[in-house]
């Protein structure tokens, strides 16, 4: 969509809503220690999950590590991303440990230039999805606990050696998931008035606020290299609020905006560049979208039939190679075929001047709403159908310590009925589909102003195929198997 | 020096806390060296819906154990599903039968909580792999 075609209204009603202007909330967000305040409870919870995962019941439905990780955390995460923004990264407990460690360990190195992109994190994202299926993480408190420990250690190693927020920007798979999903969030950390930034000479939001005599940084600037005046959207923003605290003019807010609007434009983005030139971010968007379907496919009955069939024709009895083949098909072959065909049709019908790869890169961002709809449907299914299971699991954990003050575990408490949740799931899928169509039409209008429909149709067809696949997945009988083959 | 001592005492505290937690979390299970529990589930393979389990309790000499109480809990291998509960009734001497529900395909775990006539409690876990869809 051409930005100039968006009507600009100067009425007060059209001004974005600023969360920082909400009484109480604004003061809280402006408080310098708001991040540790939010991180501390999550750190305590992480430690409890690790201890219970390692020493508590071995059965996943009775353990806090598996219940909290695979039901509650994922569900709350996607809902907060949908309704607000990337607030999990703000409250990230791993960063609290990193901050504590950096009091003793000063990182000496800058992140290597060849790795200053998303390729490593795309690989790690795929690796997490793969190990989740291969080691059936949902059913193992022990593995879940070690995954959390591994995460803490990775943060300490990466940010112990490398300056700034290298882990968040270039490594963290959860962070990348949040970055991509947050492009659909209704709030964004953003400057209030560009004029104030134009007049500003200190640029504290990126450089950090310094003591006048010693020139030591007292309040950090953005560690993810996002310069507020030219920052566009939520990509790479951890909502850490360092810029808010550093800005001497109180000119940064948490502003409302149209979700996904940042996908319809392609300006130069601070710390990122142009979306249309970032193949690594496009790959992340593709893994995010196709991975959503793949992750859901891993929990329904047909996956076991496919695995058995593949195992037979390949004469393989181990699960890893068969799973590897399924991942290769869903995350590489299928996207290449679908996006390649759509790009070719766009060139042929709409006479787009772009080559195939740049076209595929540009339009792949349009699939993100669809992918997020699928993640929402999948994670909210587990979260809502198992909503109350946290109560008996907590009762049991506390009783096993010899403090049965919460009473006998009420194991019959589960969550919302599956038929109610299914309606919500379909709602998320419809929302995602509609969002993708809107974004793709916006891109098509911008790309081929004279024949937008011709550029739109091939990509709409890709969305339709993926959406039908999502709906089909949602109606498949769920089947959670720990191991089909010999590992 | 004082800092190192404090570090050591903190480390010792953490080790103690973890040890206590581990001891607190492990459940005492009565010795079951002289009791044999055999089980039979039908249909085989188990499908979504109901299934019957028959438990055969016998002592070291192979004599059936009568008058025991067997409570059964069925859980899925993943979090978020409500467990099922059933009481096994003694159908014949040493043979206890219960009807179990498996509402979803996948891997299930059956937990047996058996109380012998003398009050001794036993716990057993039976894995039911791959309950088939309807």
Q: Is the alpha carbon torsion for A230, A233, A234, A240 positive or negative?
A: positive
Place of tokens 């020096």: B1
pLDDT class for A206, splitting at 50, 70, 90? Answer: very high
Helix (H, G, I), strand (E, B) or coil at A407: coil
Judge contact between A170 and A121, C-beta under 8 A. Answer: yes
Question: Are B80 and A67 in contact (CB < 8 Å)?
Answer: yes
Q: Give chain B's length.
A: 134
Q: What is the pLDDT of residue A77?
A: 98
User: Cβ separation of B24 and A402 shorter than 8 Å?
Assistant: yes
Chain A CB contacts of B77 under 8 Å are: 59-60, 136, 139, 480-482
A412 and A90 in contact (C-beta within 8 Å)? no
Minimum distance, in Å, between the CA of residue A10 and any CA atom of chain B: 50
Secondary structure string (H, E, C) spanning chain B: CHHHHHHHHHHHHHHHHHHHHHHHHCCCCCCCCCCEEEEEEECCCCECEEEEEEEEEECCCCCECCCCEEEEEEEECCCCCCCEEEEEEEEECCEEEEEEEECCEEEEEEEEEEECCCCCEEEEEEEEEEEECC
Collapse the DSSP code of A329 into the 3-class scheme (helix H, G, I; strand E, B; otherwise coil) and give the result.
helix
Site of tokens 């058996």? B114
* B81 with A55: Cβ contact below 8 A: no
Residue B99: pLDDT band by 50, 70, 90 thresholds? very high
Of B22, B27, B77, the CB nearest to A480: B77
Length of chain A: 487
Is B107–A481 a contact, with Cβ atoms under 8 angstroms apart? yes
SS percent in chain A: helix, strand, coil, step 5 = 65, 5, 30
Report the pLDDT averaged over residues A108-122: 97
Using only the alpha carbons of chain A, give its radius of gyration. 23
- A vs B: CB pairs below 8 A: 99
pLDDT (mean) for A195-219: 88
The mean pLDDT value for A55-60 works out to 94
Residues of B in contact with A56 (CB under 8 A): 25
What pLDDT, in 10s, does the model give residues A352-411? 888 999 999 999 999 999 999 999 999 999 999 999 999 999 999 999 999 988 998 898
The model carries a pTM of: 0.88
Q: Which of A402, A478, A481 sits opposite B130 (nearest CB)?
A: A481
Residues of B in contact with A478 (CB under 8 A): 104-106
Angle at A71 between CA A67 and CA A76, to 5 degrees: 125
Residues of A in contact with B49 (CB under 8 A): none
- The answer to whether B132 and A308 have CB atoms below 8 angstroms apart is no
Closest CA to A437 of A363, A375, A366: A366
Smallest CA–CA distance, residue A334 to chain B, in Å, is 28
Residue A482 DSSP one-character state: S
State the DSSP H helix or E strand holding residue A367, giving kind and residue range, or none if neither: none
Residue in the structure block whose two tokens are 């001794």: B120
Three-class secondary structure of residue A197 per DSSP: helix
Q: What mean pLDDT is predicted for residues B31-51?
A: 86
Per CB-CB distance under 8 Å, the chain B contacts of A63 are: 79
List residues of A whose CB lies inside 8 A of any B CB.
51-52, 55-57, 59-63, 66-67, 70-71, 136, 138-139, 301, 304, 382, 385-386, 389, 393, 400-402, 411-415, 477-484
Largest CA distance in chain A: 73
Q: How far is CA B106 from CA A383, B45, B81, B87, in A?
A: 19, 12, 12, 23
Predicted local confidence at residue A479, as pLDDT: 76
Tell whether the torsion through CA atoms of B86, B90, B96 and B97 is positive or negative. Answer: negative
pLDDT at residue number B20: 41
Domain spanning B36-131, CATH architecture: Sandwich (2.60)
Q: Which of A162, A27, A21 is nearest to A98 (CA)?
A: A162
DSSP notation for A92-105: -HHHHHHHHHTTT-
Beta carbons of B106 and A480 less than 8 Å apart: yes
Contact A200, A227 (CB under 8 A): no
Q: What is the dihedral of CA A162, A164, A169, A170, to 10 degrees?
A: -10
Confidence of residue B129 (pLDDT cuts 50, 70, 90): confident
Does residue B6 register a pLDDT over 70? no
CA–CA separation, A259 and A270 (whole Å): 19
Is residue B106 scored above 90 in pLDDT?
A: no
Nearest CA in chain A to B102: A479
Contact B78 A411 (CB under 8 A): no
- Within 8 A of A136 by CB-CB distance, chain B residues are 77
Is residue A212's pLDDT more than 50?
yes
The nearest alpha carbon in chain B to A61 belongs to B79
Question: Whole-angstrom Cα distance, residue A437 to residue A206?
Answer: 36
Looking at beta carbons, which residues of chain B come within 8 Å of A393? Answer: 79
- Find the residue in A nearest to B107 (Cα): A481
**Closest CA of chain A from B61, distance in Å:** 33
> Shortest Cα distance from B75 to chain A (angstroms)?
7
What's the confidence (pLDDT) of residue A57? 94
The interaxial angle of helices A34-55 and B2-25, nearest 10 deg, is 50
- Angle A279-297/A368-385 helices, nearest 10 degrees? 40
CB contact under 8 Å between B80 and A413, yes or no, is no
| Separation CA A249–CA A196 (nearest Å) | 8
**Cβ of A55 and B129 within 8 Å?**
no
Of A60, A67, A415, nearest to B77 by CB-CB distance is A60
Mean pLDDT (chain A, rounded): 93
- Kindly state the tokens that stand for A422: 């299914």
| Cβ neighbours of A60 in B, within 8 Å | 77-79
pLDDT of amino acid A5: 45
Q: How far is A400 from chain B (nearest CA, A)?
A: 5
Task: Provide the ipTM.
Answer: 0.72
- pLDDT, residue A85, reads 97
Q: Would you say residue A272 has pLDDT above 90?
A: yes
Closest-CA distance, A31 to chain B, in angstroms, reads 31
CA distance A62 to chain B (A): 7
Cβ neighbours around A450 below 10 Å, total: 8
Q: What distance in Å separates the CA atoms of residue A470 and residue A464, rounded to the nearest whole number?
A: 10
Name the pLDDT band for A299 (thresholds 50, 70, 90).
confident
Lowest mean pLDDT among A277-286, A291-300, A429-438: A291-300
First to last CA, chain A: 49
Q: Which of B24, B73, B78 sits opposite A480 (nearest CB)?
A: B78
Interface test with B, best of A478, A480, A485 (most B CBs within 10 A): A480
Phi, psi of A477 (to 5 degrees): -65, 135
DSSP code, position A112:
P
**Residue A405 DSSP SS3:** helix
Angle among Cα B79, B85, B86 to the nearest 5 degrees reads 150
Cα torsion angle, B60, B61, B65, B70, sign: positive
Phi, psi of A404 (to 5 degrees): -85, 35
Instruction: Look at A400 and B77 and tell me if their CB atoms are within 8 Å.
Output: no
- Which residues of chain B have a CB within 8 Å of the CB of A390? none
State whether B80 and A479 contact (CB < 8 Å): no
Smallest CA–CA separation between B126 and chain A, in Å?
A: 12
């Amino acid at each position: 969509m051409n930005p100039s075609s968006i009507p600009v209204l100067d009425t007060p009603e059209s001004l974005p809503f600023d969360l920082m202007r909400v009484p109480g909330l604004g003061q809280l967000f402006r408080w310098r220690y708001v991040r540790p305040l939010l991180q501390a409870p999550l750190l305590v919870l992480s430690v409890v999950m690790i201890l219970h995962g390692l020493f508590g019941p071995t059965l996943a439905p009775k353990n806090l590590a598996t219940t909290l990780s695979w039901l509650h955390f994922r569900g709350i995460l996607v809902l907060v991303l949908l309704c607000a923004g990337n607030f999990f990264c703000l409250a990230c407990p791993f960063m609290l440990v990193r901050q504590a460690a950096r009091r003793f360990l000063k990182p000496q190195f800058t992140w290597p230039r060849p790795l200053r992109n998303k390729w490593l994190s795309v690989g790690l994202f795929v690796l997490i999805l793969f190990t989740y299926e291969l080691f059936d993480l949902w059913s193992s408190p022990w593995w879940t606990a070690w995954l959390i420990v591994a995460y803490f250690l990775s943060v300490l190693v990466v940010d112990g050696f490398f300056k700034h927020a290298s882990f968040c920007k270039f490594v963290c798979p959860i962070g990348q998931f949040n970055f991509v999903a947050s492009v659909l969030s209704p709030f964004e950390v953003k400057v209030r008035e560009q004029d104030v930034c134009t007049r500003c000479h200190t640029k504290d939001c990126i450089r950090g606020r310094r003591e006048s005599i010693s020139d030591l940084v007292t309040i950090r600037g953005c560690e993810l290299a996002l310069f507020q005046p030219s920052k566009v959207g939520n990509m790479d923003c951890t909502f850490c609020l360092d810029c808010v605290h550093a800005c001497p003019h109180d000119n940064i807010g948490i502003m409302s905006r149209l979700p996904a609007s940042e996908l319809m434009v392609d300006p130069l983005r601070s710390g990122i560049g142009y979306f249309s030139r970032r193949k690594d971010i496009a790959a992340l968007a593709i893994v995010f979208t196709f991975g959503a379907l793949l992750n859901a496919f891993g929990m329904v009955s047909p996956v076991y039939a496919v695995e058995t069939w593949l195992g037979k024709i390949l004469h393989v009895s181990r699960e890893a190679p068969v799973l590897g083949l399924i991942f290769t098909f869903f995350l590489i072959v299928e996207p290449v075929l679908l996006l390649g065909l759509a790009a070719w049709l766009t060139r042929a019908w709409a006479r787009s001047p772009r080559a195939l790869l740049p076209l595929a890169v540009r339009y792949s961002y349009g699939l993100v709403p669809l992918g997020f709809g699928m993640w929402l449907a999948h994670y909210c299914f587990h979260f809502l159908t198992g909503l109350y299971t946290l109560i008996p699991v907590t009762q049991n954990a506390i009783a096993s310590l010899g403090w049965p003050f919460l009473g006998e575990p009420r194991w019959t408490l589960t969550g919302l009925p599956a038929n109610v949740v299914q309606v919500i799931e379909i709602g998320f899928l419809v929302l995602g589909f509609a969002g993708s169509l809107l974004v793709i039409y916006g891109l098509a209008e911008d790309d081929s102003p004279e024949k937008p429909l011709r550029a739109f149709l091939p990509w709409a067809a890709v969305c339709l195929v993926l959406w039908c696949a999502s709906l089909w997945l949602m109606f498949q009988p769920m089947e959670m198997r720990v191991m089909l083959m010999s590992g | 020096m004082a800092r190192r001592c404090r570090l050591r005492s903190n480390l010792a505290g953490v080790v103690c806390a973890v040890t206590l937690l581990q001891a607190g979390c492990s459940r005492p299970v009565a010795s079951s060296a002289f009791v044999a529990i055999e089980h039979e589930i039908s249909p085989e393979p188990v499908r979504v819906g109901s299934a019957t389990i028959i438990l055969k309790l016998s002592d070291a000499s192979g004599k059936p154990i009568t008058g025991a109480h067997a409570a059964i809990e069925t859980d899925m291998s993943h979090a978020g599903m409500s467990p099922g509960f059933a009481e096994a009734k003694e159908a014949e001497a040493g043979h206890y039968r219960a009807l179990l529900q498996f509402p979803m395909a996948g891997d299930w775990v059956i937990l047996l909580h058996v109380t012998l006539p003398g009050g001794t409690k036993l716990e057993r876990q039976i894995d039911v792999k791959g309950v088939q869809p309807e």
